[in-house]
């Protein structure tokens, strides 16, 4: 376990050094001395409210009764885990904690997570289309136009996800038996997981059709969550007084960062976040140096807030780092049971 923690920390440091490589330290220090830090404080407040809104959304999607404060705690810890574990391996922490601490079916929590992700993909796809219309030119990262690539990836993922949801809701439980049999031949673990939790997963999606008002609430909360995410970027842009911070430019920087996070899920999301944000900011006329400093500082503010808040709640709830890092292993054991 210590080796795994050391590897994650080492990878985070490596990607952070890659991001910082080439930054003029003296010029960056000058920029930081002129930062209006009350705007950074506002960004932190908005980030906290964003997590609260996302907790309400997850509560609306989750087909189980868990107190809001407890759910907020689980959300804070799971978002911290997602940020410190590579390739979004921390996604397994939320279903694990809900099952272990609050006796929520893994199928129910996984269904809520999938619904949550589809809503976020829908929001990001809409923002990508709006930014593509509002910003002229191409934001190139490693020879790829992130606007065009992001639109294609998000729309394709959304379509596949929606088709899957329709199939699950229409066919329902009869789909599980043949699917479990096929999956067991490829991977016994996956087959056992479907047998153990597939029913609850299907029931959660079908319950959404019976209570469509819950989906409406989730859609409104998704819009509010992304508006708050925009507010964080806008506050950080205001903190850097020399930056162009028109509404479309700030939205484009947010979208660029989020596309980078999806494409390159490194520990802490360092690298992809900055690359996407910098490419867009340079496209709208921000200097290469300032765009890089802004992207790094904004990411560190969001990352630091997420990790510190998650650690505080982990301490409050009595979760150990060893326990969180082993959540994925525990999920595998749960699947085999």
Give the pLDDT score at 264.
Answer: 73
Please tell me which residue, 290 or 193, carries the higher pLDDT value: 290
- 63-95 pLDDT, tens per residue? 778 889 999 999 999 999 888 876 666 778 888
- Among 163-167, 176-180, 327-331, the range scoring the smallest mean pLDDT is 327-331
Q: Mean pLDDT of all residues in the chain?
A: 80
Give the pLDDT score at 332.
Answer: 43
Give the pLDDT score at 74.
Answer: 93
Q: Is the confidence at residue 39, as pLDDT, over 90?
A: yes
- Among 49-58, 186-195, 250-259, 277-286, the range scoring the smallest mean pLDDT is 186-195
Give the three-class secondary structure for 143: coil
Give the pLDDT score at 144.
Answer: 66
320 vs 337: CA distance, rounded Å: 24
Give the three-class secondary structure for 244: coil
Give the pLDDT score at 93.
Answer: 85
Q: Where are the domains of the chain?
A: 25-336
Q: What is the pTM of this model?
A: 0.83
Q: How confident is the model at residue 333 (pLDDT cuts 50, 70, 90)?
A: very low
Q: How confident is the model at residue 181 (pLDDT cuts 50, 70, 90)?
A: low
Please tell me which residue, 64 or 304, carries the higher pLDDT value: 304
Phi, psi of 127 (to 5 degrees): -65, -40
- 231-262 pLDDT, tens per residue? 999 999 999 876 656 788 888 889 889 988 88
């Amino acid at each position: 376990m210590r080796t795994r923690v050391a590897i994650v920390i080492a990878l985070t440091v490596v990607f952070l050094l890659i991001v910082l490589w080439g930054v003029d330290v003296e010029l960056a220090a000058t920029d930081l001395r002129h930062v209006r830090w009350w705007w950074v404080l506002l960004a932190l407040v908005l980030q906290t409210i964003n997590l609260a809104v996302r907790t309400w959304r997850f509560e609306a999607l989750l087909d189980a009764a868990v107190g809001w404060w407890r759910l907020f705690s689980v959300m804070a810890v799971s978002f911290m885990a997602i940020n410190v574990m590579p390739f979004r391996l921390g996604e397994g922490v939320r279903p694990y904690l809900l099952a272990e601490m609050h006796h929520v079916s893994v199928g129910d929590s996984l269904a809520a997570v999938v619904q949550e992700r589809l809503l976020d993909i829908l929001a990001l796809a809409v923002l990508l289309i709006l930014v593509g219309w509002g910003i002229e030119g191409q934001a190139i990262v490693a020879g790829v136009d992130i606007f065009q690539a992001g639109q294609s990836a998000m729309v394709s993922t959304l379509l596949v996800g929606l088709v899957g949801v329709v199939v699950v809701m229409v066919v329902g439980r009869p789909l599980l038996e043949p699917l479990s049999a096929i999956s067991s031949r490829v991977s016994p673990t996956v087959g056992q997981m479907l047998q153990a939790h597939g029913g609850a997963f299907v029931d959660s999606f079908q319950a959404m059709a019976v209570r469509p008002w819950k989906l409406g609430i989730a859609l409104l909360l998704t819009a509010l969550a992304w508006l708050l995410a925009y507010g964080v970027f806008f506050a950080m842009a205001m903190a850097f007084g020399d930056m162009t911070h028109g509404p479309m430019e700030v939205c484009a920087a947010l979208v660029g960062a989020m596309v980078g996070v999806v494409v390159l899920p490194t520990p802490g999301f360092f690298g992809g976040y900055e690359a996407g944000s910098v490419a867009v900011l340079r496209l709208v006329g921000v200097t290469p140096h300032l765009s890089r400093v802004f992207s790094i500082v904004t990411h560190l503010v969001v990352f630091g807030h997420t990790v510190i808040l998650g650690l505080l709640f982990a301490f409050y709830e009595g979760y150990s780092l060893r326990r969180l890092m082993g959540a994925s292993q525990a999920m595998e054991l749960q699947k085999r049971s």
